[in-house]
Amino acid sequence: MPEINIAFDLDDTLVNMMSVFDDYLEAQHGRRMPESYDQFDISGPAQLTKKEIWFLFYQVFDDINRFPIYPGAREVLTKLYEITGEPPCILTARPHRKASETYALVKRLMKKTPFTLILQHPDMSKAGHLMAMGYGHYVDDRRKNVLDIARAGIHAFMPERCYNQIPADVIKASGNIGVIDGMTHFLPYLSQFATKKVIRHDLAA
């Protein structure tokens, strides 16, 4: 069991990838993403094919110095390390061929604080990785991941975005999902994630 009982998604959880994508979309296609859209698959709202989107994504992944870091992200991860002496874990579904760029971005986020970076295996779900490592909590902005992870019995925190709304009755029925406004949410509760006990859902979200 890890000393830190929470792990983190990278893009649009700790760093704002969509803002960089939006800049590339504007530079190369002359339009920005709509103000609001309701799906993680952005090919509709971006008016691009999946191939065109990945062409942009790969350029975005290379542009590591451009990524805004979400408020509280560095502080939460650094403090978890300070409390436990264990490097916090970031689990991302980014493509393995962008491993070096992904590492460099996380290094920029974490500065001198040690970290564990895991690139999700294509044949394994995020829930599978988290269960194998023994994590009880995970933070992810993608609705599908949050539902999968919650179903696997892991408490999922979801930073609220326009594209990831989950109906309130589904959240209530799950009992394992906490919708949060962002990484700063965790600052008052950090020591609770540094113990092995699973914290109560209503306490943290």
Q: How many residues bind Mg ion (CB under 5 A)?
A: 4
Q: Does residue 22 touch Mg ion according to CB under 5 A?
A: no
Q: Pick the closer one to Mg ion by CB: 12 or 148.
A: 12
Nearest Cα to 62, choosing from 17, 12, 27?
17
DSSP per-residue string spanning 138-158: EE-S-HHHHHHHHHTT-EEEE
Q: Which of 9, 109, 136, 164 binds Mg ion (CB under 5 A)?
A: 9
Binding residue for Mg ion (CB under 5 A) from 6, 7, 76, 141?
Answer: 141
Which segment (6-14, 37-45, 48-56, 169-177) binds Mg ion by CB under 5 A? 6-14
Minimum distance from CB of 47 to Mg ion (Å)? 22
Positions of E strands within the chain: 7-8, 89-92, 116-119, 137-139, 155-159, 177-180
148 binds Mg ion (CB under 5 A): no
Nearest to 10 by CA among 18, 50, 2, 201: 18
Q: How far is the CB of 39 from Mg ion (least distance, A)?
A: 14
102, containing H or E segment: helix 99-110
Q: Footprint of Mg ion on this chain (CB under 5 A)?
A: 9, 11-12, 141
